[in-house]
Amino acid sequence: MSIPKTKTAYLETYGCQMNEYDSELVKTILTKAGYEFVLSPNTADVVMLNTCSVRDNANRKVYNRVHTLRQSRTTEAPFKVGILGCMATNIRKDLLEDRSLKIDFIAGPDSYKKLPDLISTGFESGEKTFNLTLSEFETYSDVYPTREGGVNAWIAIMRGCNNYCTFCVVPHTRGRERSREPESVVDEVKRLVDEGFTQVTLLGQNVNSYHANDTDFAGLLEKVSDVPGIKRIRYTSPHPKDFPRHLLQLMADRDNICNQIHMPLQAGNNRVLEMMNRTYTKEEFYDLVAEARETIPNLKMTTDIIVGFPTETDAEFEETFEVMERVEFDSAYIFKYSERKNTLAARKFPDDVPEAMKTERIVRLNDLQKIVSLKRNQAQIGEVQDILIESLSTKRDTNMATGRNAGNVLVLVPNEGRRVGEYTNATITEATPNVLRGIVS
Ligand code: SAH
Ligand code: SF4
Ligand code: F3S
């Protein structure tokens, strides 16, 4: 097949914020190479899925999508299909060898600059092309992402992960940890402000181990906080094992660093935490939460939990329940353990907690968290909060605008007179586990 004259591309993104950010990089790289991005696969010459491999259901979603795409591929619209992201590096062999999938090109998270070449070589040869090399250096500092809409700008400050939590595929899919130079992060933030953004979220798999040019994560946060015009800075995710005191103090001292921390607990039992290679204990986690709450007034805290890690007993699960009950997170993402190829857990620990038990545990934690989230949200009723407006209607109600308070909780306010991107004061009047309602005051 020859290279089409006007090359159009379509991209779907799965997985975490890092993948969202990477898709913005891919858009820039391919736009520079002459591609025009379109909103439907049927009008595209090239269809790409930026994929996630963190749990099995993420993988399955992509397989299903590839099959549907193949069915919609016709002789009039014979688009090429490419797999990008974490599935590409994680199950490279399956993707390369499975002919039934009919994938045309594959690129891992560090290969996006090669995409224009990979695609055009494939068009010329008709052969499958791929690049899955992981780099120790690539940070894409020289690629300015194509951000579309929204009031928040993601910025990856580092890539990869060296932690090797035993359940986690990310170090295998994204390679070694590397930090981007602070100057390049600050320059990007300045440019974002010029474009009208007032909120940034700094991204990394473990932001606390950020280190470049003698700047640690707190140092970088301070530099970003000094950029005139930045009103809200968030970051995700820190690791509880190395949370420095001076970072908490900086958050307390700076008005434009949001009083919100995503603090992934994963499990509340020390034996399980050790098997997970999380390198902190339940007691250390309690101490950190206490210190954070003491230092930062009105702190909102969220977490990630895995239930049914290999060999987790009922009593050990109860400890996770107890920690969640005691800590009272504002919200929690709770997952069933999913065995991932290439991880240490997959090699050493049989996935022996029965599915029904995993379900029982996840239901119990979700029920508990609902009650806790409701309590935490109800405690905000009567407060006057600064809301950054994100959208002027909800799916269910065309009269309500949505926004977020500094703690990152969703707040609905009447949309009359509101504008996307503005900050408005609202008095909170109602609460559910997931959202607050307010009136503009
Ligand atoms: N780097 C981030 C998160 C990475 S993945 C961090 O450390 O916080 C996001 C979440 O997915 C993890 O916190 C974990 O709770 C969950 N997760 C990762 N691997 C998983 C697996 N194999 N099974 C179930 N949940 C998993
Ligand atoms: Fe995965 Fe652990 Fe790294 Fe997070 S810190 S990406 S959970 S290995
Ligand atoms: Fe993110 Fe999924 Fe990769 S969570 S880092 S896209 S495996």
pTM (two decimals): 0.95
199 in any annotated domain: no
Q: How far is the CA of 54 from the centre of ligand 3 (A)?
A: 6
Closest to 236 in 3D by CA, of 262, 265, 275, 208:
262
β-pair partners for 410? 404, 435
Residue 226 counted as domain residue? no
Q: Are β-strands 199-203 and 152-156 bridged in parallel, bridged antiparallel, or unpaired?
A: parallel
| Comparison of pLDDT for 61 and 329, the residue scoring more | 329
- Asked if the structure places residue 194 within a domain, the reply is no
Does any domain span residue 403?
Answer: yes
Ligand 3 pocket member 86 (CB < 6 A): yes
The 10s digit of each residue's pLDDT in 211-224 is 999 999 999 999 99
Count of all residues that appear for the chain in the document: 441
CATH number for the domain that contains residue 420: 2.40.50.140
Map tokens 């909800």 to a residue.
Answer: 394
Q: Is the CB of 13 under 6 A from ligand 2?
A: no
Ligand 1 contacts (CB < 6 A) are 54-55, 167-168, 170, 205-206, 237, 239, 264, 266, 304, 306, 335, 337-338, 340
Measure the CA–CA gap between 56 and 269, rounded to whole angstroms: 24
Find all residues with CB under 8 Å of 217, minimum gap 6, and list them. 157, 207, 208, 209, 210, 211, 235, 238, 244, 247
Return the half-sphere exposure (C-beta side, CA atoms, 13 A cut-off) of residue 384: 4
Residue 114: DSSP 8-state: G
* DSSP of 359-395: HHHHHHHHHHHHHHHHHHHHTTTT-EEEEEEEES--S
Question: What's the CA gap between 130 and 123, in Å, rounded?
Answer: 13
Ligand 2 centroid vs 92 CA: distance in angstroms? 20
- Give the model's pLDDT for residue 148: 86
Judge whether 290 lies within some domain. Answer: no
Q: Is residue 330 pLDDT above 70, yes or no?
A: yes
Within a domain: residue 14? Answer: yes
Domain assignment present for 13: yes
pLDDT surpassing 60 at residue 4 = no
Answer with the one of 89, 115, 131 that is the final residue of a domain.
131
Give pLDDT tens digits for 39-81: 999 899 999 999 999 999 988 899 899 989 888 877 777 889 9
Q: Is residue 90 part of a domain?
A: yes
Buried b (16+ CB within 10 A) or exposed e, 181-205: ebebbbebbeebbeeebbbbbbbbb
The whole-angstrom separation of Cα 109 and Cα 3 is 25
Q: How far apart are CA 392 and CA 398, in angstroms?
A: 8
Whichever domain contains 71, its CATH number is 3.40.50.12160
Helices (H), 33-157: 56-72, 86-90, 92-97, 115-125
Domain final position from 102, 131, 160:
131
Kindly report the average pLDDT of the chain as a whole number: 94
Angle, helices 282-295 vs 245-253, to 10°: value is: 30
CA of 177, nearest ligand number: 2
Of the three residues 84, 104, 131, the one that is the final residue of a domain is: 131
pLDDT, one tens digit per residue, over 156-181 is 999 999 999 999 999 999 999 999 99
Domain limits at 17? 8-131
pLDDT at 388 over 90: yes
Pocket test for ligand 1, best of 19, 335, 344, 351 (most atoms within 8 A of CB): 335
Dmax (CA) for the chain in angstroms is 65
Tally of domains in the chain: 2
